[in-house]
Amino acid sequence: MKTNINVFAVGYARISIKDQSSYSLTFQEQAIKRYCEQNKLTLIAFFRDDGESSDTFDRPNWKALEEFLQKHKDLVQYLVVLELDRFSRELTKALQKIDELYQKYKIRVVTVSEPISQDSSSPSSFLMRGIKLLIANHELNLIRSRTAQAMLQAKESGRFTHHAPFGYRNKKDRAGLPVLEIVPKEAEIIRFIFQQYIAGVPFSLIFEEARSQGFNRSGNNSIQHVLSNSLYAGFIKIAKSASQPERLVKGLHQPIISLSLFNTVQDLLKRRHKPIASKPKQVIPLRGMLRCPCGAAISGSYSGGRSRRKYLYYFCGKERSYNFPGETLHLMFDKILKQLSFTPTDFDLVREKAVTWLQEYRKNQGTQIKNCVDHIKAIKQKICYLQIALLNGVISTSMYNRAYADCSLHKAHWEAVANILRKEQLPVLDMLNRAGETLMHLNELFTTSREAEKFKLMKLIFPEALEFDGKLFLTSAVHPALAFNYRKNLFYDLLTLKQSKDENKGKTSEGR
């Protein structure tokens, strides 16, 4: 009688839930090994997928199993599993995969409840397997249905069960249930995005600035996704079903923005349209960068004249009748940037001062390095004395070890300081020379920059809001490096520095 001692098999086990005790990986492996022993099969490899879904074969160790079968396709004859639902719960996919394994590798899939002699290609065998997979498929659909129902119930109770959006992190409350917790730094960026959109700043500009602050989402629509996410206003969106329309449910998490701000943004999103493709991208360079004295953002648009030519006008976001010709505003702003720019003579003076400062700095740096080297030499000398004292029996080993450790700590400190000072090569003059062309032509830089760069340059020159009252530009501060040029030129007919809120508060408190 011929035995099966030289018939080789591979085992496979899978669970989708780690605490599934009756079908644990250990239980499955033991059952498969017993089956192989009883049927004289030599088990040459075993593969396990822990916590992997049954509705796909895109599992890490299943892929490894198929690579193994490809490599040993003339050796392996059986793939042994506990039950077909460990193989897959998807009826169609499972039957296709069983057929594929046989056609490609001549490997038969068997379960521990099936006789090794069973002809899996017979009609009765196919029918039994189909019924088992159909039951497994039904169980999978039940699991999906229960999971979806549980998630729906969680949402209706105000709990968000998915991965937290930017601005929040996933947490568990005392009952072990999912909650959202605000990430303060990210929340500030979310508020910034909403405020900038209200002010009329374009999406591309908001995205660039948000990225510079730490916004780590990518994609062309990332800003729109933030603006339309009701979670930030404290509400969870529940998709429409056959019986109910889409609705918002009050969440248990803290909102980052107010509901009124969120609703205002939704109205704007509905009203505002994408720019016409044929229109130049930078037709309104100051939109979103200026404010009206009333506090509202100044926006801009083109208006047609009798000659059908389009003219640019800037206007207050609250009062549309309060508008200013774009050409006039641009000329005034260009003149301000020209007067804030350095003259060649002024820049030469700055360079001369920088050279003097750098020479003094490097002299002090050399003195500091020498001081570090002297400390290191003194510590090394002290360690030498300690070693001599230990050899002569003046101090004990434990005392030596304590003193040596203390000396080593101090020596490492001074060595680290010396290394930092040696590496600290400040390319001040190179940096200054590269910045010279920019500082002497701020108006040209602004004109030729992209929208995002314009916005950054504007915020750099005018750290506080820049207002326009119809006649003058007003701000409470200019960049310290340009403040001298403002005081020197005294162009009060274009730009006026007003007192900041902090200064006003200080004067008020002094008056009291």
Please answer whether residues 62 and 12 qualify as being in contact, where contact means their C-beta atoms are separated by less than 8 angstroms. Answer: yes
Reported as a single tens digit per residue, the pLDDT across 170-200 is 888 887 888 889 999 999 999 999 988 887 7
**CATH superfamily placement of domain 7-147:** Resolvase, N-terminal catalytic domain (3.40.50.1390)
Q: With 50 as the cut, is the pLDDT of residue 274 above it?
A: no
- Poorest-pLDDT segment among 42-46, 68-72, 467-471: 467-471
Task: Assign 348 a pLDDT band (cuts: 50, 70, 90).
Answer: confident
Residue 494 has pLDDT above 50, yes or no: yes
Residues 6 or more apart whose CB falls under 8 angstroms from that of 50 comprise: 14, 15, 18, 25
Q: What is the pLDDT of residue 146?
A: 65
Confidence band for 499, pLDDT divided at 50, 70 and 90:
low
Long-range pairs of 260-268 with CB within 8 A, sequence gap ≥ 24: 261/194, 261/198, 261/233, 262/194, 262/230, 262/232, 262/233, 263/233, 264/198, 265/194, 265/197, 265/198, 265/227, 266/228, 268/197, 268/198
Residue 11, pLDDT score: 94
Helix %, strand %, coil % of the chain (to 5): 55, 15, 30
Which has more pLDDT, 375 or 117? 375
Model pLDDT, residue 281:
44
Residue 512 has pLDDT above 50, yes or no: no
Q: Using the predicted structure, report yes or no on whether residue 277 has a pLDDT greater than 50.
A: no
Identify the pLDDT of residue 45. Answer: 92
For the chain, percent of residues with pLDDT exceeding 70? 78
CATH of domain 178-271: 3.90.1750.20
Confidence category of residue 5, pLDDT binned at 50, 70, 90: low
| Res 148: pLDDT | 62
pLDDT above 50: residue 46: yes
C-alpha pair distances (Å), 245 with each of 148, 249, 252, 425? 17, 12, 22, 65
pLDDT at 291 over 60: yes
- Cα–Cα distance between 347 and 40 in angstroms, integer? 91
- Tell me the mean pLDDT in the region 79-107: 80
Report the C-alpha gap between 326 and 313 in whole angstroms.
5
Query: Percent of the chain scored above 90 by pLDDT?
Result: 10
Extents of the domains making up the chain = 7-147, 178-271, 286-337+448-512, 344-431
Pairwise pLDDT comparison (280 vs 218), residue with the higher score? 218
How many residues would you count in the chain?
512
Rounded mean pLDDT of the chain?
A: 78
CA distance 252 to 254: 7
Do 180 and 168 form a contact (C-beta atoms < 8 A)? yes
Q: Is the pLDDT of residue 295 over 80?
A: no
CA 234 to chain centre: 21
DSSP for 322-363 reads SEEEHHHHHHHHHHHHHHHSPPHHHHHHHHHHHHHHHHHHHH
Report strand pairing: 310-316 vs 297-304.
Answer: antiparallel
Average pLDDT over residues 6-12: 90
In this prediction the pTM is 0.39
Asked whether 288 and 201 are in contact (CB, 8 A), the reply is: yes
pLDDT band at 492 (very low <50, low <70, confident <90, very high): low
Mean pLDDT is lowest, of 159-168, 334-343, 491-500, for 491-500
pLDDT at res. 152: 61
Measured CA distances, 406 to 228, 270, 343, 385, 413 (Å): 59, 69, 57, 14, 11
Q: What are phi and psi of 510, to 5 degrees?
A: -65, -40
Q: Calculate mean pLDDT across residues 496-505.
A: 59
Mean pLDDT of 475-504: 72
Q: What is the DSSP letter of 250?
A: E
**Which pLDDT belongs to residue 3?**
45
Question: What is the tens place of the pLDDT at every residue in 371-412?
Answer: 889 999 999 999 999 899 988 888 898 899 888 888 988 888
pLDDT at residue 473 in the model: 86
Q: Which amino acid is at 117?
A: S
Q: Edge-to-edge strand order for the sheet containing 41-50?
A: 41-50, 7-15, 76-81, 108-111
Mean of pLDDT values over 468-485: 82
Residue type, 38: Q
Structure tokens at 184: 């303060």
pLDDT recorded at residue 54: 62
SS3 311: strand
Gap between the Cα atoms of 190 and 257, Å rounded: 8
